[in-house]
Amino acid sequence: MALLRFDSPGRVRDVPEGSAFYDDWHRTVERLIATSTAVSGSGRYVDPSRRDVEASGRRLYTWTGFPRPLLVEHRDDRRAAWVAGEDRNVQIEYLEWHVERAGGTITRVTFSTETPEYWKLLAATDRATVLELYRELVSPEVASRDLFPDGRTYDPLNRWNTTDGIVHYVMRINSMRDLLGVSQESEPTRRAVDGYDALPYKRTTGADARLNLDIWALSRKGYAVSTDEVPGLYIAGWDDTGWTRPDGTPVDSYWRVVRGRAGAALRVVYEVPESERFAVGDIRIGGRPVEFGGQLAEHVTVSAHGLVGRSRR
């Protein structure tokens, strides 16, 4: 196949086709990937924009969205894990969420997998579009000075992306840089022939473990591995099996994809329609009422997308 050009996450078109933004985004991603890196065995992780890969298939790397380190730390107290998980600074599995409440009851949970690199570049390209998107996604009350305090420079830790809403990641190692960085890490035991030889594994997050172990397994088989042409992190799906309304009957689907698409969403909102006459906080999961966004995050699957094949040079 021909050399790839990196597209925007989810192929969203926040600025018109033909804008220099899309070339700049391609270069932003390209700078984060080495041309070719030995990761395990005879295969390599390659940059498909600089190395021609004869792709034999695509690979979906998946993990659950609630922070695994909190589940380990609070193994015998799930509620304590949920309490700790409400802090965006510990939402470490490339999934962050913001909870809205009315009178203490949860009314809406918004999940995002959007990277700071994308939004910083968009802000440097078109401040008016960023302001418009914030007003659409978070609140019509967003003012330009909230996002650009000095009139020029975008503040990713503005109130509408932290305390009062969510647009993209703020947790310091949730980023495109970290996704592609961990994807290119070399296996500590270079002579490993399978996953058992590769252990012990010291990573604590579910995301890093999934990316490392899957990529190394493919590389040991001699494959060239890479990100696909739409690099990013996505909400692949969710499972609300067994969730019940206040009357004990199964819930309907209250998930709404706001950016991206089903199976590869960038932003998803969970909210009960007013016509139902109850709120998210009235739903029960495993018999427990929903008190924390993390109770939903445990049932959300996050993904990264890759190519697998043979490098032609």
**pLDDT for 192:** 72
Q: From CA 172, how far away is CA 177, in angstroms rounded? A: 11
Q: What are the residue ranges spanned by the domains of the chain?
A: 9-115+169-311
> Is the pTM value of this prediction over 0.75?
yes
In eight-state DSSP terms, residue 194 is: S
Q: From CA 139, how far away is CA 165, in angstroms rounded? A: 8
- What residues form DSSP beta bridges with 288? 285
Q: From CA 262, how far away is CA 21, in angstroms rounded? A: 25
**pLDDT for 7:** 97
Let me know if 183 is exposed, middle or buried by CB neighbors in 10 A (0-12, 13-18, 19+). buried
**pLDDT for 50:** 93
Do the Cβ atoms of 215 and 44 come closer than 8 Å? no
How many helices (H) does the chain have, and how many strands (E)?
A: 10, 12
**pLDDT for 295:** 98
**pLDDT for 204:** 84
**pLDDT for 200:** 55
Distances (CA, A) of 77 to 24, 212, 283: 46, 29, 21
Q: From CA 160, how far away is CA 146, in angstroms rounded? A: 8
Q: From CA 172, how far away is CA 178, in angstroms rounded? A: 9
**pLDDT for 282:** 98
Per-residue pLDDT of the chain (313 residues; tens, 9 = 90+): 578 999 999 999 999 999 999 999 999 999 999 999 999 988 999 999 999 888 888 999 999 999 999 999 999 999 999 999 999 999 999 999 999 999 999 999 999 999 999 999 999 999 999 999 999 999 999 999 999 999 999 999 999 999 999 999 999 999 999 999 999 998 876 667 776 666 556 778 999 989 998 999 999 999 999 999 999 999 999 999 999 999 999 999 999 999 999 999 999 999 999 999 999 999 999 999 999 999 999 999 999 999 999 876 5
For residue 236 the two structure tokens come to 């692949």
Q: Which of 159, 117, 107, 156 is nearest to 138 (CA)?
A: 159
- What residues form DSSP beta bridges with 235? 265, 302
Distances (CA, A) of 138 to 85, 119, 127, 141: 21, 15, 16, 9
